[in-house]
Amino acid sequence: MTEQQFEHDVVVVGGCGHVGLPLAIALADSGASVLVYDLSQDAVATVNSGQLPFDEPGADDKLKAAVADGRLRAHTDPAVVGGAEHVVVVIGTPVDEHLNPDPQAIPRALDACADHLRDGQLLVLRSTVFPGVTRLVEQLVAERGLAIDVSFCPERIAEGKAMTELYSLPQIVSGRDQRVRERAAALFRRLTGTIVELEPEEAELAKLFTNTWRYIKFAAVNQFYMIAESRGLDFERIRQGLVQDYPRAADMPSAGFAAGPCLFKDTMQLAAFNDNNFALGHAAMLVNEGLPLHVVSQLEQEHDLRNCTVGILGASFKAGSDDIRSSLAYKLKRILGFRAKHVLMTDPYVTVDPDLVPLDRVLSESDVLVVATPHPEYRAITTDKPVADVWNVLGTEVAQ
């Protein structure tokens, strides 16, 4: 590969997003000179003002410092893609309304800036991709006659934990040969000491298996929850009882809405990859997506919801987050919109939904409450109103 000089170390394509931006910040904090390329003008302006476009604990001060001393700068001009040795691609890879993945999402995004790619660069794919996309990108690069190494290095952080997990999780790196893997490993050694090498096709599946495994585990406990609750038993008491001092069940999570932009769609990507022969994945989807319906049906057994105001506590898809993407709280809201007299929703973190109302109003005006998101703030709530609390936020504790 030709030796080239680059003015910057890294450019992150999609670098104003939920995983691209924490990575850009962490790399800048490690001393790298980082460019961000993103289509969103608003997010680029926000980042260049030293502000995060979304909550990410621990990233705020590091972003301010990196912007202030010029180690991180965001752009909407695709020409910046040619300015750094490492090009890391972290754009979104959603499934469509028919649950089809889009294997062309990454090649299309790269095509738009391919004129700026330069020999000698390392192209790191970091989005979660449909298996085979790494090879498609290798072909795209070859067809354009570019001497560029291509590596797939999946991101496995959880939102809200990026600024610790980028440093603590092992990093899977993959590439067609050892030299490519070494280049990718050298980049990520800036953040973490543990590098795991796989072939690209193995790494693509490793990422999908990681998320699908988690989604199926949540589905298992959610099904257990529905079995227990429909017989009038408290699932969380049972769970706490069975995991106590029993290592083989120590990883059994609590029940709760399994939502957000990744787990569901990556399970569907895996199903599509296997020609839709994925009974376990589809069953997990039915259980997890069915939980809000189950909660409403259980409520209807005890309350005439047509005459009730139902208050939903939480809008984001997970605790302590302002991210409402694919949140099941909104599915719950839609169901209740048909079945209840009135629905109110509140969330202490979410700022993008003008229909949310303050917590006090939800607590005073609702006849029935549903905890949709286990925000820590809700643990302090005391109410004599009926509460549907899948997450057990208001608390069952088994006597020790």
Ligand X SMILES: NC(=O)c1ccc[n+]([C@@H]2O[C@H](COP(=O)([O-])OP(=O)(O)OC[C@H]3O[C@@H](n4cnc5c(N)ncnc54)[C@H](O)[C@@H]3O)[C@@H](O)[C@H]2O)c1
Which spans of this chain sit near ligand X (rule: CB under 6 A)?
Answer: 13-14, 16-20, 37-40, 43, 90-93, 109, 112, 127-128, 155, 157-159, 261-262
Contact 72, 63 (CB under 8 A): yes
Least distance (Å) between residue 90 CB and ligand X: 5
Q: Which is nearer to ligand X, 158 or 381 (CB)?
A: 158
In one-letter notation, the amino acid at residue 297 is S
Contact 368, 385 (CB under 8 A): yes
Give the count of alpha carbons within 13 A of 249, CB side only.
12
Least distance (Å) between residue 220 CB and ligand X: 22
Find the helix packing angle between 200-230 and 133-143, rounded to 10°: 150
Q: Which residue, judged by CB position, is nearest to ligand X in the bound state?
A: 17
Beta strands in the chain (DSSP E): 8-13, 34-37, 72-75, 84-89, 122-125, 149-152, 171-175, 195-198, 309-313, 342-346, 368-371, 387-388
Within 8 A by CB and 6+ apart from 220, the residues are none
How far is residue 39's CA from residue 61's CA, in Å, rounded to a whole number?
Answer: 24
Least distance (Å) between residue 62 CB and ligand X: 17
How far is residue 356's CA from residue 375's CA, in Å, rounded to a whole number?
Answer: 15
Q: Which is nearer to ligand X, 265 or 375 (CB)?
A: 265
Least distance (Å) between residue 302 CB and ligand X: 36
Least distance (Å) between residue 169 CB and ligand X: 11
Q: How many C-beta atoms lie closer than 10 Å to residue 285's C-beta?
A: 21
Q: Which is nearer to ligand X, 269 or 366 (CB)?
A: 269
Q: Which is nearer to ligand X, 13 or 163 (CB)?
A: 13
Q: Which is nearer to ligand X, 54 or 225 (CB)?
A: 54
Q: Which is nearer to ligand X, 11 or 308 (CB)?
A: 11
Least distance (Å) between residue 99 CB and ligand X: 15
How far is residue 254's CA from residue 234's CA, in Å, rounded to a whole number?
Answer: 12
